[in-house]
Amino acid sequence: MIDLDEAEGLLLYGDTERNSDLFYATRFHAPDPFFFVCTAQTSRLLINDLEFDRACAQADVDEVLSLVQYNERAAAGDLDPQQGRYAGLGLMLRELELRTVRVAEDFPVSAADYLRASGFDLTVVPTPVLAQRATKSAAEVGSIRSALKASEAAMDVAIGAIRDATVGEGGQLFLDNEVLTSERVRFLIHRSLLEMECTAQHTIVACGEQGCDPHEQGHGPLRERLPIIIDIFPRSATSGYFGDITRTVAKGQPTDNLRRQFDAVLDAQQGALESIRGGADGRQVHNAVAELFASRGFETGKQQGRFQGFFHGTGHGLGLDIHEAPSISARGGILEAGHVVTVEPGLYYLGEGGVRIEDVVLVNDDGCENLTTYAKFLEV
């Protein structure tokens, strides 16, 4: 998992709904927090009795231990509640003859204080704790493909609703004689994903200037001729892996400026796709995108009190977290075969709106494989 000396261990704590390192290490779905420790020789879970039997059957570890039983064995009558809470953990670490323990940045302060007071040396490991997560196995790529398939199906539902809508007074879109809103399209997306055993939060359906804030989820009526950014990033309820796709569409004929903006984003994305391969520097890929935008006259900077232009990264790693290593941005980093990354340049201008297009690719030694198959078009 990570290189450890004989008297050194890695200790993780949390639930696998939120701690992806913990799920990666154990492959055990659990909504309640538990301890995981591994050494150069073994791996263990220390877990509450409610999850004990299921962990024994499902967790990919050498041994599953009862936290209650360990606390009972370790507890003494004069321990205060805080000490008693972690006494079993200290006992287990002493059984493993550990002196130094590596912990993640989000390890509980109370547990760290107890362990240090009990004579253990704690070393905080910067995230990601398990750096090998960035390189995906064939099985992991398959899980991401499945999540992407659900993402694309949900995208088709969303764009289908916009395509089937009619235009009413003031340019508002109507579907089945009701105003078509961001909220309504988002509901259709989420219902579709649930049918495919995926869940999603913060799905974006942002029309017009709402799309100028890349994380604005969108609200209110959708309107003709304005860009509508649809960004869907569901998590599979079975595998835990994410998909991620963004498309930008407009109902009816877009303005000339919007068409120029869309074409620039599409060309920038294509250039990035052609430059991604093992050994490429994410910073250089990102800089090339920024340079293309500048060459087309799309300036980036603060205007009217808002950041406008291209002011986010070109892409990020995708897996058990929606954002993980590596990064295709100004931070940079060398891409390696087996990395799975998004490629999502965008342009955002008040008065016109935002445009973003996002695919997910698998990095290979001699290029990349685009795992996203959904078409890219502006007018619907």
User: What is the tens place of the pLDDT at every residue in 155-213?
Assistant: 999 999 999 999 998 899 999 999 999 999 999 999 999 999 999 999 999 999 999 99
Return the bridge partners of 47, or none. Answer: 66
Q: How many CA atoms lie within 13 A of 81 on its CB side?
A: 0
In terms of DSSP bridges, do strands 315-317 and 301-303 run parallel, antiparallel, or are they unpaired? unpaired
Q: Say what the pLDDT of residue 77 is.
A: 47
Task: State residue 235 phi and psi, 5-degree precision.
Answer: -110, 135
Q: How many CB atoms lie within 10 A of CB 72?
A: 12
Indicate yes or no: pTM above 0.85.
yes
Quick one: tokens of 172? 């508002």
Report the chain's mean pLDDT, rounded to a whole number. 95
Q: Is residue 379 part of a domain?
A: no
Task: State residue 119 phi and psi, 5-degree precision.
Answer: 100, 5
My answer on whether 165 and 290 are in the same domain is: yes
My answer on whether 255 and 280 are in the same domain is: yes
Give the DSSP letter of residue 265.
Answer: H
Q: Is residue 376 part of a domain?
A: no
Q: How many CA atoms lie within 13 A of 83 on its CB side?
A: 9
My answer on whether 183 and 68 are in the same domain is: no
pLDDT band at 281 (very low <50, low <70, confident <90, very high): very high
User: Tens of pLDDT along 218-250?
Assistant: 999 999 999 999 999 999 999 999 999 999 999
pLDDT band at 3 (very low <50, low <70, confident <90, very high): confident
Per the structure, the complete domain to which residue 153 belongs is given by 135-370
Instruction: Give the DSSP H/E element, type plus range, for residue 232.
Output: strand 228-232
pLDDT band at 103 (very low <50, low <70, confident <90, very high): very high
Task: Tell me the one-letter amino acid at 9.
Answer: G
My answer on whether 240 and 211 are in the same domain is: yes
Could you give the CA distance from residue 343 to residue 168 in angstroms, rounded to a whole number?
35
Q: Say what the pLDDT of residue 78 is.
A: 46
Question: Which residue among 133, 152, 175 closes a domain?
Answer: 133
CATH of the domain at 322: 3.90.230.10
At residue 295, the 3 state secondary structure works out as helix
How big is the chain by its Cα radius of gyration, in Å? 24
Q: Is residue 375 part of a domain?
A: no
Beta carbons within 8 Å of 343's beta carbon, 6+ residues apart: 269, 272, 273, 276, 314, 315, 328, 358, 359, 360, 361
Quick one: tokens of 326? 């590596």
Q: How many CA atoms lie within 13 A of 172 on its CB side?
A: 13
Q: Is the pLDDT of residue 76 over 70?
A: no
CATH of the domain at 97: 3.40.350.10
pLDDT band at 303 (very low <50, low <70, confident <90, very high): confident
Instruction: Give the DSSP H/E element, type plus range, for residue 287.
Output: helix 282-295
Q: Are 26 and 60 spatial neighbours (Cβ–Cβ below 8 Å)?
A: yes
Q: Is residue 1 part of a domain?
A: no
Q: Is residue 3 part of a domain?
A: no
* Averaged pLDDT, 27-47: 95
